[in-house]
Amino acid sequence: MKRRHLLQALGLAGVVPAPWAQAQAVTGTVHRLELGMSLPALLAQARSGDVIEVMPGVHRAQAGVVTQAVLTIRGVGGTRPVFQADGVAAEGKGILVVRSAEDVRIQNLEFRGTRVPDRNGAGIRFETGHLTVQNCAFFDNQTGILTNNDPASVLEVQRCEFGFAAAPYLSHLLYVGRIRQVRVLGSYFHDGLMGHLLKSRAQYTIVRHSVLVDGASGESSYEVDLPEGGRAWLVGNVISQNALTQNPAIVSYGEETSSLAEHGLFMAHNTIVNQRSTGTFVRVSPARLAAGLEARFVNNLLVGPGELATGTLDWTAGNVRTTLDSLRDPERLDFRLVAHSPLRGSARAAGVGGGRTLAPLAEFRPPVGSRLIVPPAAWSPGAYQS
């Protein structure tokens, strides 16, 4: 395969190597944020097409608003530079507030410790436009990323980590409002608290080859919450709740009244783990949705005890139940089937759902990111083929 076509394929799968992902054409000036310099001052100087490079270290009490149509803010160096809120928040909202964006990219940065009086302080508050967040981490915030409800906005999240929700707040690690689309690829969510690991009210929600695992000490509610339905594709993910969860349902869809025009839930090749004595793997409430619901569930691996609260929706397409000891080492994020498992090679081709392929294009690779899958001669249920 030619290099150009290979990179395009990798990009579609969300596994673009970081150097290529950051090779955005620079049409303006490159600014540098050194330790002790002012982020708001640099943002005021920057013009559309510019780049702000954040130097290594911990940048304390720095917060600002991005209003440029095109801008890249990227950390440089061997480790991610850190924005530590230290009580400062732009407009009382978060470390970075992004609005009026045509193509804003935030890369290789860590956001920590955001607190605001409204209790929804975010590492990034995304208000309007198109935002891509790559190779970033969000720890100890009231919300990792929080969006507004602009129906035209698009959010892309690639190879990011969200964890350690701030106490004692109802913290969602990623909270997507009523925007057009959110796409999450190769990302890792863990250690929630009361809130959800991922909550989306978007018209289109796409989550592929990611891991949403509350961890031994996490106390999240739902791992994935899609309260207003919409069209959602969950493909090739590991989704797991532990015994301390605040709610026994793992994936919840349509729990609130919705006026969205389209609804569809398409789940394929997910490994869904319940570590409680009881629980609900997937709960669907279609009666509250304004439009009809299209659904397809294929080749999902349901691990541990629990039920499906999906009414008459069909779960016969290669979905199987198993026990925790059929996985290699879940405590170390190894959710592959054991080598001798009779489930290997027992699945069918996933096909299409909602106009998109339901085949897993990639697998999550710890600590964050993913790798392409070579289609096997015979598919296995769950998120891993290796």
Q: For residue 175, give the CATH number of its domain.
A: 2.160.20.10
Query: What's the rounded Cα separation, in Å, for the pair 119 and 141?
Result: 10
Opening angle at CA 159, ends 156 and 164, nearest 5: 100
Structure tokens at 354: 């909602």
The answer to whether the beta carbons of residues 82 and 61 sit under 8 Å apart is no
For residue 168, the model assigns a pLDDT of 72
State how far Cα 137 lies from the chain centre. 11
- Decide if 25 is inside a domain: no
Is 1 part of a structural domain of the chain?
no
* Assigned domain for 345 exists: yes
pTM (two decimals): 0.92
Q: Are residues 247 and 277 in contact, defined by beta-carbon separation less than 8 angstroms?
A: no
d(CA 177, CA 372): 30
Q: Beta-carbon neighbour count of residue 332 at 10 Å?
A: 8
Q: Is 265:293 a contact under the CB 8 Å cutoff? A: yes
Which tens digits make up the pLDDT trace of 115-164?
999 999 999 999 999 999 999 999 999 999 999 999 999 999 999 999 99
d(CA 210, CA 266) in angstroms, rounded, equals 16
Give every CB contact of residue 146 below 8 A, 6+ residues apart in sequence.
93, 94, 120, 122, 124, 125, 126, 172, 175, 177
Token pair, residue 52, equals 């702000």
Q: Is-contact 67 100, C-beta < 8 A?
A: yes
Q: What sign does the CA torsion over 82, 84, 90, 93 have?
A: positive
pLDDT at 285: 87
The count of domains in the chain is 1
Q: Is residue 385 included in any domain, yes or no?
A: no
pLDDT for position 286: 74
Confirm whether 349 is domain-assigned: yes
Q: Distance (Å, rounded) from C-alpha 15 to C-alpha 374?
A: 14
Q: Considering the domain boundaries, does residue 14 fall inside one?
A: no
162 belongs to a structural domain: yes
Residue 52 placed within a domain? yes
pLDDT (tens digit, 9 = 90+) per residue, 293-329? 899 999 999 999 999 999 889 999 999 999 999 999 9
What is the C-alpha separation between 307 and 309, in angstroms, rounded?
6
What is the model's pLDDT at position 4? 40
Measure the CA–CA gap between 179 and 80, rounded to whole angstroms. Answer: 29
Which residues of the chain fall below pLDDT 70? 1-26, 287-288, 290-291
The Cα 229–Cα 144 span in angstroms is: 22
Note down the domain range covering 107.
Answer: 31-372
**Inter-residue contact 187 to 212 (CB < 8 Å):** no
